[in-house]
Structure 1
Amino acid sequence: MILSLLLSSFLTFVELNCENLFDTTHDVGKEDSEFLPEGKRHWTRTRYWGKLNRIGQEILSCSSCLPDIVALVEVENDSVLHQLTRRSLLRNAGYEYLMTTSPDVRGLDVALLFQPASFRPLCYESIEVPVLPGMRPTRDVLYVQGQIITGDTLHIYVVHAPSRYGGERETRSYRMKVAQMISQQVQLCHQENVIITGDFNDYIDNASLKYLEEFSLVNVTKNSQGKNGYAKGTYRYHGEWRSLDHFFCSEKVANRVEQTYINDEAFLLDEDTRFGGKRPLRSFNGVRFQKGFSDHLPLIVKFKF
């Protein structure tokens, strides 16, 4: 029994769409004027630093122990990640990070925070998504190969698939392209311990996610619920809880899943005055600033290796 405990290790992995985590400085060539002090959202340093600390608070509340790995979506640049990990509420948590530098029009990227004692990156790559006709340049996929404390090597992909702006059907092929690109890399490189996570901008019954499942990738979070009973998904639209955020794992890793849940702590939620019930407490209601967190809730998977 003691030997079994010594040879096993728990790994807590969080995914969170931060919803427009911009700094207050213009990035040349990017459409970020909305989130500047003189922009329509009046994105001041006070609001920005408040947002950084709330994201830190949100991450820390995901588990009784410090999450080992955190995949972040909708973060603007290296400056934001440096300030999040070095100067916010996370400053003593010891996180290091890797991130993409994408051709996304607004300048948004994805990132991976990790505890060096739990996860040691061996290599990483920013994989650009080919632009299809009518499609705007989108976020790169972040690929990280790394080793956990048991010696197992993980292949992690962080995704922020193209949005549904312009219509779900009209943009469906854009998200399918992301799924095809990742599946091809997993197959070509004969990767076994695979974890794909992020905001796929699709629900479990949509084509891009079904495509991933056809390649023996398991959606281990498809039935995840809020740990406090409020949330039935990570996202709420017109009063209906569903998930745009997912974890797909190869069968070998899926067998290591101990628990999945959504972090729906009361302070992350707001009253839905139109449809009733609760909804994520986002930073803005329209253009009205309300000191919120995000329009998505964190998704958590605990593995045992």
Structure 2
Amino acid sequence: MRNTIFRICLIFCFSVSLLGQAKKYNIHTVAFYNFENLFDTVDDIYTNDDEWTPKGAQNWTTEKYNQKLKNLSKVLSEIGTPENPNAPTFIGGSEIENRGVLEDLIKEPKLLQFDYGIIHFDSPDKRGIDVALLYQKKFFKPTSFSNIPLYILKNKKVAEKDKTEESTDEENEVKIQNNRVFTRDQLLITGFLEGEEISIIVNHWPSRSGGEKATSEYREAAGKLNRKIIDSLQQLNPNTKVITMGDLNDGPCNKSVKEALGAKAKKTEVPEFGMFNPFEEMAKRGMGTTAFRDSWDIFDQIIITESLIKPDFSTYKFWKAGIFNKPYLIQNSGQYKGYPLRHSFTEVGFSDHFPVYVYLIKEMK
């Protein structure tokens, strides 16, 4: 039955000021997920992907790759349920090797019925990992898309990795000739969601490899570029609706998000043309999408423009946000009990991040 239900309605009651009258709404889920090393098994001579091959350190076989696709498709098909029985209309993703792995992913049985389109560009990241957007063609019609590079120069303070700080399995590559730090591009897509124009930016900001403090300015530069893109869209159309999402490698309270991007935690604090971050309050309550040394933070965020929080549901607006952390996504034993269930040598897991999502709703006439 689910594969026949594409236009989904949500029924809920507003406050007593509307006399408790139930209203019907169309609903769309917008999701982001760090796929954590979604690599195929083929050695790409132009990128540093040797680890993720059958002869590499991960012994990455066809069987393991297929299980990874199966695991991811299960998660993606369930994000946002039960409030919205339909799979997400939009899925932003990161740590994607190439377009081919996305084509394999959307052919998985749990996703095939939703007829996802793909928007993807190769990025200059040395491991070849990219960002991308999947979208349900039935609902969204893209009109333009581009990859916008982030140009930053090496910070001298990162010359030697600070062993006391967090690092990841990715590194910010520095090209010696010009001292440029190569990282993921920011992906901008504009199109029409059931006739309403909306823009989406998919991000994977520079990592903390080398230390959080030493690399902070890299992510601040990413936040400034994000803000510049949004400013340009708002200059063209002051009422434009923009959603920026991704693995920011910073939490909601870091400078890259709070100052460079200018995101606010409360709707009442958001100025005209400002940004609202529904994940900051979650972070303050101790919730998280990823953990390091038993310290949780929300690196994965979906942040929206003020135009999406105005109290008028005659067009699509933000309803609420969440972290998708079902029990099957959680390690249930060992040193990392309670952490996201990621890949290991003995088990093909899901990711070292939990997905995040927001709902857009519009009142039905």
1: CA distance, partners of 2:323 / 2:192: 26
Q: Does 1:240 align with 2:295?
A: yes
Superposed displacement of residue 219, structure 1: 0.8
Counterpart of 1:181 in structure 2 is 225
Which of 245, 250, 253 is the equivalent residue of 1:205? Answer: 253
1: CA distance, partners of 2:154 / 2:326: 42
Query: What secondary structure, in the 3-state scheme, does the structure 1 residue paired with 2:331 have?
Result: strand
2: CA distance, partners of 1:179 / 1:208: 5
Please tell me whether the aligned partners of residues 155 and 194 of structure 1 are also in contact (alpha carbons under 8 angstroms).
Answer: yes
Counterpart of 1:265 in structure 2 is 326
Superposed displacement of residue 43, structure 1: 0.5
Superposed displacement of residue 61, structure 1: 1.8
Q: Does 1:163 align with 2:207?
A: yes
Which of 166, 172, 196 is the equivalent residue of 2:244? Answer: 196
Query: What secondary structure, in the 3-state scheme, does the structure 1 residue paired with 2:218 have?
Result: helix
Please tell me whether the aligned partners of residues 162 and 201 of structure 1 are also in contact (alpha carbons under 8 angstroms).
Answer: yes
Please tell me whether the aligned partners of residues 12 and 301 of structure 1 are also in contact (alpha carbons under 8 angstroms).
Answer: yes
Query: What secondary structure, in the 3-state scheme, does the structure 2 residue paired with 1:39 have?
Result: coil
Q: Does 1:139 align with 2:156?
A: no
Please tell me whether the aligned partners of residues 199 and 243 of structure 2 are also in contact (alpha carbons under 8 angstroms).
Answer: yes
Superposed displacement of residue 162, structure 1: 0.5
2: CA distance, partners of 1:195 / 1:121: 14
Read off the aligned partner of 1:213 and give its amino acid letter: G
* Cα distance change, pair 236–120 in 1 and its aligned pair in 2 (3 A): same
2: CA distance, partners of 1:13 / 1:42: 34
Counterpart of 1:228 in structure 2 is none
Superposed displacement of residue 67, structure 1: 1.1
Please tell me whether the aligned partners of residues 281 and 293 of structure 1 are also in contact (alpha carbons under 8 angstroms).
Answer: yes
Read off the aligned partner of 2:216 and give its amino acid letter: R
2: CA distance, partners of 1:234 / 1:272: 18
2: CA distance, partners of 1:239 / 1:167: 17
Read off the aligned partner of 1:200 and give its amino acid letter: L
Query: What secondary structure, in the 3-state scheme, does the structure 1 residue paired with 2:245 have?
Result: strand
Counterpart of 2:162 in structure 1 is none
Larger radius of gyration: 2
Q: Write out per-residue CA displacement over residues 146-192 of structure 1, whole angstroms, 9 at most, x where no aligned residue.
A: 1111x221110000001000111111111111111121122133252
Using the TM superposition, name which of 57-66 and 85-94 deviates more.
Answer: 85-94
Counterpart of 1:153 in structure 2 is 197
2: CA distance, partners of 1:224 / 1:118: 29
Please tell me whether the aligned partners of residues 152 and 221 of structure 2 are also in contact (alpha carbons under 8 angstroms).
Answer: no
Q: Write out per-residue CA displacement over residues 67-91 of structure 1, whole angstroms, 9 at most, x where no aligned residue.
A: 1111011111011011111245322
Superposed displacement of residue 224, structure 1: 4.0
Q: Write out per-residue CA displacement over residues 62-119 of structure 1, whole angstroms, 9 at most, x where no aligned residue.
A: 1232211110111110110111112453223211110121011000001101011121
Q: Write out per-residue CA displacement over residues 177-226 of structure 1, whole angstroms, 9 at most, x where no aligned residue.
A: 1111121122133252010000000011211001212672111222348x
Read off the aligned partner of 1:130 and give its amino acid letter: Y
Counterpart of 1:119 in structure 2 is 140
1: CA distance, partners of 2:107 / 2:326: 25
2: CA distance, partners of 1:94 / 1:183: 32
* Cα distance change, pair 88–237 in 1 and its aligned pair in 2 (3 A): farther
Q: Write out per-residue CA displacement over residues 22-81 of structure 1, whole angstroms, 9 at most, x where no aligned residue.
A: 111122220000101100110011101110110000111212322111101111101101
2: CA distance, partners of 1:101 / 1:261: 29
1: CA distance, partners of 2:97 / 2:121: 10
Q: Does 1:217 align with 2:307?
A: no
Counterpart of 2:168 in structure 1 is none
Runs of 4+ in 1 over 6 A off after TM superposition: none
Using the TM superposition, name which of 132-141 and 39-48 deviates more.
Answer: 132-141
Please tell me whether the aligned partners of residues 73 and 111 of structure 1 are also in contact (alpha carbons under 8 angstroms).
Answer: yes
* Cα distance change, pair 61–87 in 1 and its aligned pair in 2 (3 A): closer
Read off the aligned partner of 2:182 and give its amino acid letter: P
Read off the aligned partner of 1:295 and give its amino acid letter: D
Counterpart of 2:347 in structure 1 is 290
Percent pairwise identity? 30
The count of residues paired between Structure 1 and Structure 2 equals 293
2: CA distance, partners of 1:69 / 1:182: 19
Read off the aligned partner of 2:354 and give its amino acid letter: L
Higher RCO (Cα < 8 Å, 6 or more apart) = 1
Superposed displacement of residue 15, structure 1: 0.5
